[in-house]
Amino acid sequence: MMLPQHEFGLDVVALVGVLRHQDHRSVPEIHAALQRRGVETAERSFTKLLDRYDELLVTSLTNTRRLRRVLAEQGRAILALDGM
């Protein structure tokens, strides 16, 4: 699943957020981790990806009504979990 007008899926957004906030990785380390997984991107893209992660996290924690409305309009959601 991708956010509208974004080039990366939510799985990449989630991975970047976890690597940064949970694993405390630097931007070059995150970039290298994504490249090892076959995700090609410029390091400067991480600011946008981290912003999206933070927005999604806050939305999921504070506004479940809005999230339910958006998902209802879409008709479905695909949840991708990696490394479980």
Q: What residues does each domain of the chain span? A: 10-74
- Decide which of 25 and 60 is more confident: 25
Residue 73: C-alpha distances to residues 35, 68, 70 (Å) = 34, 9, 5
pLDDT single digits (tens) 54-64: 888 887 777 77
Terminal C-alpha separation, the chain:
18
Report whether pLDDT(41) > 70.
yes
Question: pTM of the entire structure?
Answer: 0.62
